[in-house]
Structure 1
Amino acid sequence: MELRLIHRLRGINKGVALVVGFGLLVCAAFVLADIIMRQIGTSLGGTEEIAGYAMALATSWGMSYTLLELGHVRIDLLRTKFQSFGRAVFDVFSMIVMSGVIITIAIKAWPVVERSLVNGSHANTPLETPLIWVQMPWFAGWVWFAVMSTLVTLAALSLLIKRRHTETESFVGAFAEQETLQ
């Protein structure tokens, strides 16, 4: 059951990563077009602002994909000294801490979004972008990451309780060790 959940989450996150990647390609094309237009004396304007928004969205949504691809940085100095049970305990502990941090970020992001929504805030830039257009998908990305990390933590904890220690490494282990295990 746990591994099936992780497989489904990986599939969803791959789809999200493709959408985010496509968005970044569109943003890059927009910036490139603006650079070319500047060479002939004109400009689309606002490329810095739009690129900043794209990076914020890519970060919040990309974190979930990175989690299941074991791409987050881990300092595993102690973890490597243990057998599978000890490594699994460190993995679950790290996931509990990560989930707590991400849930806190998602909770703390809401007042920012709420304030923009209530005040009808616009960016203090020439584009005067309604901030809610950017902040809602940004916030949704952090909420998705919080949900994802919580589900991954629960799956890893379940496997730890069931004494299926080695199975946790495939989705919460340290990446450097994954290369040596294969």
Structure 2
Amino acid sequence: MIRIISFLKKINNGIAVIAGLALLACITLIILDIVLREIGISFSGSEEISGYVMAAVTSWGICYGLTAKAHVRIDFLREKGNLLISSLFDLIALAALSYVAVYLAYYAIPVLSKTLKSGALSNTAMEIPLYLPQSIWLAGWIWFAISSSVLLIISIILVIQGKYEIVDKNIGTGGDL
């Protein structure tokens, strides 16, 4: 089970690198657009593309936040109990996060479905088929739902087995994955 968690972390670390590179590419595009405007040349679309990249980076980046334990949590009650109590609070927090992830993924599917049915294009000069950025965005939410659900199931099994230290290390506020 620890191998699965490590695998999830490796995948999400790779996703974070790709997301970071996408952000750097957007920054470069925006800077280039600004510099070219100063010399009288302008190309449109940098704001549109950066908007799509931000949506994709958000949905995919939240997966990295999950395995890096970077999501905000108020844990003052968790710290008052023993490892069993802490593990139970960790499970509650992860279950809530998994619920939100599955909910978001489920309700994002109709967005892409409507776009595919209507053949919608962006209302800009670029006329980008909206299914392209929405597919990347939706895939991020689906991956977040899968990652959080797998992590929740593994953590429940570990709590049942009484491996509270491993739970603390992997989903608690303690050590690294």
Report the TM range for the smaller structure's normalisation.
over 0.9
| Deviation of the 1:77 alpha carbon | 2.0
* 2:13 equivalent in structure 1: 14
- 1:49 corresponds to 2:56: no
Paired with 2:43 and 2:124, the residues of 1 have a C-alpha distance of: 14
* 1:173 equivalent in structure 2: 172
User: Structure 1 regions of 5+ residues with no counterpart?
Assistant: none
Alignment partner of 1:41: what SS? coil
Paired with 2:162 and 2:65, the residues of 1 have a C-alpha distance of: 26
Query: RMSD of the alignment, in Å?
Result: 1.2
| Deviation of the 1:126 alpha carbon | 2.3
TM-score normalized with structure 2 length? 0.96
Paired with 1:20 and 1:113, the residues of 2 have a C-alpha distance of: 21
Q: Which runs of 4+ in 1 moved over 4 A?
A: none
| Deviation of the 1:124 alpha carbon | 1.5
Paired with 1:125 and 1:84, the residues of 2 have a C-alpha distance of: 55
Paired with 2:61 and 2:170, the residues of 1 have a C-alpha distance of: 16
Letter in 2 for 1:90: F
- 1:30 corresponds to 2:45: no
* 2:72 equivalent in structure 1: 73
Q: Percent identity?
A: 38
State the aligned residue count. Answer: 176
* Mapped contact 1:69–1:171 kept (Cα < 8 A): no
Letter in 1 for 2:90: D
Paired with 1:151 and 1:43, the residues of 2 have a C-alpha distance of: 47
* Mapped contact 1:123–1:129 kept (Cα < 8 A): yes
User: Structure 2 regions of 5+ residues with no counterpart?
Assistant: none
Paired with 2:130 and 2:170, the residues of 1 have a C-alpha distance of: 35
Q: Structure 2 matches for 1:135-146, cutoff 5 A?
A: 135-146=134-145
Deviations 1:125-174 (A, max 9, x none): 22221100100010000000000000000111111000000111222112
Paired with 1:52 and 1:77, the residues of 2 have a C-alpha distance of: 37
Letter in 1 for 2:44: G
TM-score normalized with structure 1 length? 0.93
Deviations 1:23-42 (A, max 9, x none): 11111111110011011112
Q: Structure 2 matches for 1:140-155, cutoff 5 A?
A: 140-155=139-154
Letter in 2 for 1:50: I
- 1:128 corresponds to 2:131: no
Deviations 1:1-41 (A, max 9, x none): x2111011111111111111111111111111001101111
* 1:162 equivalent in structure 2: 161
Deviations 1:43-64 (A, max 9, x none): 1211111111111000001111
